[in-house]
Amino acid sequence: MSILLGNLQPKTGEVRQGTNLVIAYFDQLRNQLNDNDSVLDNVGQGTNFIEINGTRKHIMAYLQDFLFTPERAHTPVKALSGGERNRLLLAKLFMKPANLLLLDEPTNDLDVETLDLLEDLLDKYKGTLLLVSHDRALLNNISTSSIVFDDDGKVREYIGGYDDWLHQRVRDKKTKYRNKSIVFKHDKSDIKLDDIKLRHTHRKASNSESLLSRIEELEQKQDKLHAIINNSSLYRKDVDKVTAVQNELITLKQEIASTYKDWEILEYDKKYRDDG
């Protein structure tokens, strides 16, 4: 986002902005607020009326839309809670005549009521929205497209929000492994007997589809654990909980690798059984 805003220069490539582009930026560090001024002055800049989408509106009425009472509207920003500061920044943001909105972790410190307000504002927004967030519910409800750093390090675009990406990711992986062509050495003396035997936990698997389904189940569990470990609130709790989640991820990763290996062995066994 800093590169898109022109605050940083890309090490390679270039950024080309469209014509008539007007950007509004939501900074999770809230550096755009004047701590010594009141809520009223931060938004109104000394005026009693502002223009929102071509409509003239009294500044107090506008602030009430963002859950500020008249009393809180006269409070200095430095005395506000984190949630109130976020609401104030949203109020400043949505009074700008922007056609491109950049939001960096907008849900930090927001209570449920303010989260509902934010989602409603974004849903009604007419321009283009670029959103970075760990809030899966917001991503699912707002996003029409997701840009994701995938496991292989490549950046891909998926239709829909977070859950839509998960479904497409699982589908693509299943297709990939169904279509995967495995090349084995024909000199069977190079292959250890232990490698040909399926592990005890998967010997009951009757076909490749069973193992692929198991892989899908394990990877979904891994995604849930990744979501837990990426949630900053986890680290404010018992340290033992963090360690337990990390150890569970390590064990799960090993099981996924093991299941992939069993699938390959099953394909190997099928190939040479078919070849006689």
Q: Residue 25: which H helix or E strand, with range?
A: strand 23-26
- Count CA atoms closer than 13 A to 226's CA, side-chain side: 12
Q: What is the pLDDT of residues 70-122, one digit of tens each?
A: 899 999 999 988 788 888 888 888 888 888 999 888 887 777 888 888 898 89
Give the separation between CA 67 and CA 72, rounded to whole angstroms: 9
The tens digit of pLDDT for each residue in 15-49 reads 888 888 888 887 655 567 888 899 999 888 878 88
Q: Across the chain, what does the average pLDDT equal?
A: 77
- Topology match between the domains 2-142 and 181-274: no
The pLDDT score that the predictor gives to residue 73 is 92
Pairing of strands 100-104, 23-26: parallel
CB 35 within 8 A of CB 77: yes
Cross-strand bridge partners of residue 49: 58
The CATH architecture to which 2-142 belongs is 3-Layer(aba) Sandwich (3.40)
Phi, psi of 103 (to 5 degrees): -120, 120
pLDDT at residue 214 greater than cutoff 70: yes
Average pLDDT rounded to a whole number, residues 219-234: 76
* pLDDT tens digits, one per residue of 42-84: 888 878 888 877 788 899 999 998 989 989 999 999 998 878 8
How is residue 74 written in tokens? Answer: 């006269």
Non-local CB neighbours of 272 within 8 Å, separated by 6+ positions: 184, 188
Domain ranges of the chain: 2-142, 181-274
> Which pLDDT value is given to residue 204?
42
Among 3.40.50, 2.90.10, 1.10.10, 1.10.287, what is the CATH number of 181-274? 1.10.287
Q: Tell me how far CA of residue 188 lies from CA of 184, 195, 264, 269, 272, in angstroms.
A: 9, 11, 15, 11, 10
Is the pLDDT confidence value at 205 over 80?
Answer: no
Contact yes or no for 58/114 (Cβ under 8 A): no
